[in-house]
Structure 1
Amino acid sequence: MTLDFGTFLNGAIHFIIAFGLACLFLAVFKRLYQISTPYDERTLIASGNPAAAIALGGAIIGFALPLASALSVTADPVEFAAWALLAGVIQIGAALVVRRFIVRDMVRRIEEGNVASAIYNAATSIGIGLLNAASMTY
């Protein structure tokens, strides 16, 4: 079997564009998620707060899951961007619902380093991300 350089080059260009867009959306999501929380993850994590790191890590994984799904169902960058935007809104919305209605003192718990609450928060983000990803079929 021989390598068709033209086919490889075309695939490599598609890969670079898709991967670059996914990384960009992940970075933007992370920043918007941090803006949406009433606590400063960067400061909490820098001071050694594991709860903040776990909660943020869960949110990042929770968003990466639907990004991966969107990459697998579309080759169009505009359609991928639309799926990424929808997934981000759902992820941030779900986190807001958890903080405002389900665990009303989640902010205090995260700021105090409550690891159990952070794991619940991260698991919820990942669970929503899985559902988000699975729903991107049509």
Structure 2
Amino acid sequence: MDELLQELRRAFELLDPPPPTLLDAARAAFAFRDPDAALAELTRDSTPAGAGLRGTSRLLTFAGEDVTVELQVSPSGHLRVITGRLTPARPATLCVRHSRGETRARVDGSGHFVADGIPCGQVMLHFTLPDATTVVTSWSRL
């Protein structure tokens, strides 16, 4: 049985190997884990009516126990700008994790933040609150 599995593995590696970017993304996702963080999962993903043909903004909402993260994702050339609000409102440090690393931003006392220069692809938002607790969103594709 082990011999058969080894032959199958070799066949898949030869005929349909995973792209290197997939392996890099998987390693990055694992490296960014925070087992103590509160998770806010995607509950809404929409494009507003009337969005222009040249570029559309997306509205995303993530919800978790006692926290909501609302985002507007807008194109800026080949990159994205994320404008959002953390509820309940409080200052925090935001780290947007993506395929090229991390982009940091400040969340003000009213819960608002802006992060620009975000590459397309999978992203996860990681908030560190004043009491050192953390909130993370599920990974989502921009």
Shorter-chain TM-score tier: under 0.3
Please say which structure displays the higher CA radius of gyration.
Answer: 2
Please give the TM-score of this superposition, normalised by the length of structure 1.
0.28
Please give the TM-score of this superposition, normalised by the length of structure 2.
0.27
Instruction: Choose between structure 1 and 2: higher helix proportion.
Output: 1
